[in-house]
Amino acid sequence: MRLMGLALLLALGSGEVLAQACVVHSTAERLDVRVCQQNRTIPQKLFADGFCQPNLPGQKVEVQYVDQCPTGAFGVCSNAQVANMPYRQDIHYYGVATDAAYLQPFCEAKSQGTWLKP
């Protein structure tokens, strides 16, 4: 057990991210968006360095790595395919539930995912 704890500390100290999900909170004037991306098949380093680091000019972006997405989402695009890539993820949406009117069709048609209401 002690060896396992040491391995975990070494991994954290080396800059590797062990979480399989990230909460992305972006804000700007009259904008407040919070989503959580749960990794399914994306290589871990690519997920942490690319998918969890959005480039949103003019917005303040905060990213928090977590083991799994928190509860409280109004909708989840389950098993969503990343555009032009063979990878899959679950995207949890928080905030304004009426946004589901355009998020659900995008999820099902473009991302080939399944829309879930938790």
pLDDT value of residue 19: 59
Residue found by looking up tokens 């995207």 in the block: 91
Q: Is residue 63 part of a domain?
A: yes
Q: Is residue 6 part of a domain?
A: no
- If you ran DSSP here, which 8-state letter would residue 47 be given? I
Residue 10 has pLDDT above 80, yes or no: no
pTM across the whole model: 0.80
Using pLDDT thresholds of 50, 70 and 90, give the confidence band for residue 8. very low
Q: How far apart are CA 34 and CA 81, in angstroms?
A: 20
Q: Is residue 31 part of a domain?
A: yes
pLDDT value of residue 56: 85
Q: What φ, ψ does residue 104 adopt, rounded to 5°?
A: -65, -50
Q: Is residue 5 part of a domain?
A: no
Q: Is residue 12 part of a domain?
A: no
Question: In which domain, by residue range, is 78 found?
Answer: 20-116
Q: Is residue 14 part of a domain?
A: no
Q: How many domains does one find in the chain? A: 1
Sheet holding 114-116, edge to edge: 60-66, 21-28, 31-39, 88-94, 75-81, 114-116
Residue 68 has pLDDT above 50, yes or no: yes
Q: Is residue 1 part of a domain?
A: no
Residue 116 has pLDDT above 90, yes or no: yes
* Percentage of the chain modeled with pLDDT above 70: 84
Q: What is the mean pLDDT of residues 20-46?
A: 92
Q: Is residue 72 part of a domain?
A: yes
